[in-house]
Amino acid sequence: MHESATAPAPLTRLADDERLFRDSVYAFADREIRPSVREMDAHAKIPSELIDKLFTLGVMAIEVPEEYGGGGATFFHSVLAVEAISRVDPSVGVLVDVQNTLVVNALLRWGTPEQRATYLRALASGQIGAYALSEAGSGSDAFALTTRAERTDAGWRLSGRKMWITNGAEAQIFIVFATIDPSAGYRGITAFVVERGTEGFTVGKKEDKLGIRASSTCELLFDRCLVPESHRLGEVGKGYRIAIETLNEGRIGIGAQMVGLAHGALDAAIAYTKARKQFGKTIADFQAVQHQLARAATDLHAARLMVYEAARFRDQHQPFLTEAAMCKLHASEMAERVTSLAVNLFGGNGFVKDYPVEKFYRDAKIGQIYEGTSNLQLQTIAKQLLG
């Protein structure tokens, strides 16, 4: 997973090493994840043995520097891994996504040398991270936080409740956002690193979801949870910058997840239409079906190029706010269209769990909701267009 020493690949094309990396991750997912997809969905759980294999593969610490046990690769490699895994199971894809594009990135950019040495090494060696921003009253209005952080002689006391936290059931390391002064608005928000087992911190109920069911989504409860000053991430009152900048990167990761799952659904639909016969010929022989598949493939290709472009801009330290919003908006809406088509092409079989497309269809819906709804992405794009 080392960064290529050759010239950078064009924005929307893969260098040979990148293609090899993506294909090798997909081969792993096809071999190790696919046999358990239905069982994981039914039991709403990713087995710990599979998580161990993800760490062994190296996809849980792609950008973590080699000195801390990581891959020392690029953000683009993280995007490729999320895409490849989501082609088989988007639940596992988002586990990898949050670890890399949110938690690792926040620590790389904002952590002190001591925090990076401690937590990046842990995240590379078997511990999972989670990113705790959302609350019951602060979803799209992400900065309307009520979780409080009160300074004490021993550090900070956190009190409040977080909702819909991905990786909550498995995580050992949580990046938590709280406000030191609700009247200060976003200027009061401060970020902290909280470890599982800290007194006053409890992982609450796990949500029973429509899609990506194997991915855990939990509430977090803080009852005067004492966090040392050394666990504060970034400056006091500057947590909003951490949240904004990491979420912009995370949106590219969700775009990759949607591209991967749409690819998986289209794979299944193509195979089914070539095997299923009606009126004496395969469904794929009908021009109407061919045209629908062609449109879906074109839609998917456009979304993939947008995701790749945004990821390249990020790695090249170019502005990517608009591109991140656009790729998440288009990829999530594309995924719903493509997976819906796949269900239609399967006919009655598409509506039952014996076939894979109903799960892809359920999994796709969350793409328009988490890490910024489609309406928020439209607002971001419009704001940039209008200056």
Instruction: Just list the catalytic residues.
Output: 371
Burial class (CB in 10 A: 0-12, 13-18, 19+), 288: exposed
Among candidates 133, 184, 181, 197, which has minimal Cα distance to 161?
133
Torsion of CA 296, 297, 303, 304, to 10 degrees: 150
DSSP class of 32: I
**CB–CB of 169/216 below 8 Å?**
yes
Structure tokens at 172: 């050992």
Structure tokens at 323: 């591109």
Q: Which residues contact 328 (CB under 8 A, 6 or more apart)?
A: 251, 252, 254, 255, 258, 367, 371, 372, 377
Residue 289 corresponds to which amino acid?
Answer: V
DSSP class of 74: -
Tell me phi and psi for residue 128, to 5 degrees.
Answer: -105, 145
